[in-house]
Amino acid sequence: MIIPPSWYVIGALAAGWAVTLGVEEYRISTKETIIAEWEAKFNKEHGLRIQDRLDAEAASSKLSEDYRKREAALRQEHAGVIDAANQKNQTLEASLVRATASSRSLSNTVASLKAEARRAVANSSSPGSCEAPIATNDLLGRMLERLDDAAGGFAAYADKLRIANEACVSAYGRAEEALKAAAVAAASDAASAP
């Protein structure tokens, strides 16, 4: 049987159409595969970005909590140092008041002894009979000088403690500012992290 040439043309057209249809199906399936791969990649990267943001927020809140804990500990330590310094200052001030009162009392006693010695010297008939009150007078004068020196030492020590207290308060203020600056820097670093 002889096949007419028009059937060859129809067959060739059908075969071309089948090949074109197969190629088009292949292109569609390849596009769907590429789209699915891109969606999976996008979802993975988006998930990583969200996780990074959550990690940065957690780190920032942990840094903030650490800062608050350190600040509370420093405040408590500072309060303890101030209380101890105030107690020492009060003790020294009380000691200074007692030493000053003792010094005044001794000064008054020495003055009265000197006055009595002068009266005794003025009232004595023989010049050699006044040796003991004069020696006592000198001894009391030297004792008074020593007590004045001791009172000066207490005052100097109290001044040193006051200065140390002021330095401690100043150092705490600088440390507190440094911690605040570090917390702000850490928060800004955490906020700028992707």
Contacts 24+ apart (CB under 8 A), 98-102: 99/147, 99/150, 99/151, 99/154, 100/151, 102/147
* Domain range for 66: 5-192
Q: Provide the token pair at 96.
A: 């200074």
pLDDT of residue 6 exceeding 80:
no
Q: In the chain, how many domains are there?
A: 1
Q: What is the model's pLDDT at position 129?
A: 52
pLDDT of residue 132 exceeding 70:
no
Q: Are 98 and 154 in contact (CB under 8 A)?
A: no
Q: Are 144 and 107 in contact (CB under 8 A)?
A: yes
135-194 pLDDT, tens digit each:
676 777 788 788 888 888 888 888 888 888 888 888 888 888 888 888 887 777 767 765
CA distance 60 to 63: 5
58-113 pLDDT, tens digit each:
888 888 888 888 888 888 888 888 888 778 878 878 887 887 787 778 778 777 87
